[in-house]
């Protein structure tokens, strides 16, 4: 924008200048100078040059944007620190590295992308500690004051990465006319470690052990400061997460540190209940502080034994007693990250989840919600009908045989190489234990047995959360994803499994960990209708706090009602329950 100023009056000049600045702030494209391309935007730390994907998918994107300094060296196991400013224009056209993690099915492989190295790197450290970056997509238009979505990926809080094509935000940004953001965060023991010796007088966040949650909140603070530069409304931010990501955003909802950071919440297949909040036999989403304190000490002692500093755990404990807290903290921060993760993995300590520490997260988050001590905003809770079918390996916890007869690497390759439009010799019996076949057998079939996992872990936690939230707020919604139209045998192996709603919510059916399984021409019409309806509904919720949208084809009433999200191969089939 170029404005000619009259030289007649300095007062008139100042007035005109104010008007120009105000107009520029209101435009999505005013992220840089007058001559900047629409993909150049000015953040608080400096200018970014993004990607013009308008011809391909109608969006602009900025990838690998730092929202905090690398949490390495002295910053390991500390609250995230704001990124340093830069001069000039920084190119933001590729994803940042995945956070350091042990490779799993939902991990980044060797190349930080969906490829077959995901199978060959399972059980090995992959990624980098220099990983606190986010990615932004928005429609390639001049629209401003768009609603903003921050999505936190799942992966048991020990794996996952934003470069996963399942989380590409372009289709959702275009369909919902919104700014869509994904953010990496620290994982496993690098993201969750409650250890007395690390509490050496830093901030309250430094001393909490909840470093991953602090990363999540740092991303929200970054958006509050910079959303307008990308055409987003900093006063209309929805935070969302799935699985472990949902656990995190629900924990953030209860954090005293999160007030004012977001305005709506979408939590999919997660929970924040302790065992004390649930009926007997249910599996809590969270463990109490004492469990995490014992975990932190075990990580430290096993590292001392692994590097030969101590002969055994007893000797390691005696050694720790001779050192100051600062000396132990320095020892831990000097450790190679791969060594930390490998040791934790070998000793069964490679875990992560929100820690009810009493500072970042209340000691009893459900009790805090019941007392109204949470961020009270419109809330949407989602689950899938067959959550447990993704977790056949957990059936031994119920005294039953393992559900799968192939390891994760083999199952991953079966999925990645599957062509839903071609004839296949693959059968359910090639994947699922014969003890559970046919899958629909009452009581003993795979459907019935994995239903135990769905009920004990997912439904118990979500119902406890919903029943508590409803005492504090009426703006509460729930869906259940029922779509199970995959090509055989995946319709039997997975059906409406955990995480399968994500492809529909993001509108991504290309190659990804679930993409080959859910795709195909046979279900295309109904699948796309359901995806379009889900994206339209999410867009409506982001704008108004109400998920009703005409594309749903049904009225969605607040909880305790729920909306079943489903489709036949050829048509949308949503219905209230």
Please list the active-site residues.
Answer: 243
- Please choose, from the candidates 560, 557, 492, 242, the residue with its C-alpha nearest in 3D space to the C-alpha of residue 575: 557
Q: Are 131 and 139 in contact (CB under 8 A)?
A: no
- Helix, strand counts (H, E) of the chain: 19, 16
Q: Are 128 and 77 in contact (CB under 8 A)?
A: no
Q: Kindly give, in sequence order, each residue whose CB lies less than 8 Å from that of residue 22, ignoring residues fewer than 6 positions away.
A: none
- Please choose, from the candidates 81, 77, 86, the residue with its C-alpha nearest in 3D space to the C-alpha of residue 49: 86
Residue ranges of E strands in 3-110: 40-42, 47-49, 51-53, 59-66, 89-91, 101-102
SS3 state of residue 564: strand
* H or E element at residue 547: none
β-pairing, 40-42 vs 47-49, is antiparallel
SS3 state of residue 550: helix
SS3 state of residue 246: helix
β-pairing, 575-576 vs 563-565, is antiparallel
Half-sphere exposure of 162 (CA within 13 A, CB side): 28
Residue 390's φ and ψ, nearest 5 degrees, are -80, -10
Task: Return the CA Rg of the chain.
Answer: 24
| Per-residue tokens: 84 | 């340093």
Half-sphere exposure of 487 (CA within 13 A, CB side): 20
CA dist 428 and 434 (Å) reads 9
CA dist 230 and 279 (Å) reads 46
Residue 150's φ and ψ, nearest 5 degrees, are -105, 120
CA dist 453 and 269 (Å) reads 12
What Å distances lie between residue 483 and 528, 571, 574, CA to CA?
A: 12, 12, 10
- Please choose, from the candidates 407, 455, 103, 477, the residue with its C-alpha nearest in 3D space to the C-alpha of residue 280: 455
SS (H, E, C) 389-441: HHCHHHHHHHCCCCCECCCHHHHHHHHHCCCCCCCCCCCHHHCECHHHCCCCC
User: Burial level of 295, CB count in 10 A (0-12/13-18/19+)?
Assistant: buried
SS3 state of residue 310: coil
């Amino acid at each position: 924008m170029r404005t000619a100023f009259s030289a007649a009056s300095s007062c008139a000049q100042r007035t005109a200048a104010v008007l120009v600045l105000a107009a520029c702030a209101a435009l999505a494209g005013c992220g840089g100078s007058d001559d900047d391309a629409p993909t150049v935007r000015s953040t608080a730390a400096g200018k970014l040059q993004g990607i013009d994907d308008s011809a391909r998918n109608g969006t602009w994107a900025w990838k690998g944007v730092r929202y905090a300094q690398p949490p390495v060296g002295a910053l390991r196991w500390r609250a995230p620190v704001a990124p340093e400013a830069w001069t000039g224009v920084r190119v933001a056209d590729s994803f940042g590295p995945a956070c350091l993690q042990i490779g799993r099915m939902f991990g980044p492989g060797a190349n930080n992308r969906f490829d077959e190295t995901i199978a060959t790197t399972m059980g090995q450290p992959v990624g980098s500690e220099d990983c606190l970056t986010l990615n932004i997509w928005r429609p390639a238009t001049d629209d401003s004051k768009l609603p903003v979505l921050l999505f936190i990926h799942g992966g048991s809080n020990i794996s996952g990465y934003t470069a996963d094509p399942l989380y590409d935000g372009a289709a959702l940004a275009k369909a919902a006319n919104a700014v869509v953001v994904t953010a990496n965060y620290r994982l496993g023991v690098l993201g969750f470690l409650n250890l007395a010796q690390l509490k050496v007088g830093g901030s309250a966040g430094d001393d909490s052990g909840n470093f991953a949650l602090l990363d999540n909140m740092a991303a929200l603070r970054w958006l509050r400061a910079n959303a307008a530069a990308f055409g987003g409304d900093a006063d209309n931010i929805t935070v969302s997460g799935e699985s472990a990501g949902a656990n995190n955003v629900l924990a953030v909802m209860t954090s005293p540190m999160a007030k004012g950071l977001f305005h709506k919440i979408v939590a999919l297949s997660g929970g924040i209940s302790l065992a004390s909040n649930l009926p007997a036999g249910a599996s809590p989403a969270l463990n109490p502080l004492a469990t995490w304190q014992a975990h932190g000490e075990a990580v430290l002692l096993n590292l001392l034994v692994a590097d030969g500093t101590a002969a055994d755990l007893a000797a390691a404990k005696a050694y720790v007693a001779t050192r100051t807290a600062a000396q132990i903290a320095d020892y831990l921060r000097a450790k190679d990250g791969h060594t930390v993760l490998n040791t934790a993995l070998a000793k069964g300590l490679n875990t992560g989840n929100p820690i009810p520490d009493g500072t970042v997260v209340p000691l009893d988050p459900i009790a805090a919600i019941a007392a109204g001590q949470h961020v009270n905003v419109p809330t949407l809770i989602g689950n899938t009908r067959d959550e447990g079918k993704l977790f056949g390996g957990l059936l031994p916890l119920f005294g039953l045989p393992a559900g799968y007869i192939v390891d994760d690497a083999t199952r991953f390759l079966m999925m990645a190489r599957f062509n839903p439009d071609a004839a296949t010799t693959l059968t359910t019996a090639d994947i699922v234990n014969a003890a559970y076949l046919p899958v629909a057998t009452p009581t003993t079939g795979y459907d019935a047995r994995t239903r135990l996992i769905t009920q004990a872990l997912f439904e118990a936690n979500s119902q406890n959360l919903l029943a508590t939230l409803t005492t504090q707020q009426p703006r509460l919604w729930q869906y259940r994803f029922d779509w199970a139209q995959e090509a055989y045998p995946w319709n039997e192996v997975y059906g409406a499994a955990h995480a399968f709603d994500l492809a529909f919510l993001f509108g991504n059916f290309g190659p990804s960990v679930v993409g080959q399984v859910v795709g195909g021409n046979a279900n295309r019409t109904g699948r796309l209708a359901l995806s379009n309806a889900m994206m339209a509904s999410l867009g409506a919720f982001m704008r108004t706090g109400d998920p009703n949208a005409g594309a749903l084809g049904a009225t969605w009433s607040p909880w305790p009602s729920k909306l079943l999200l489903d489709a036949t191969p050829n048509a949308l089939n949503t219905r209230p329950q």
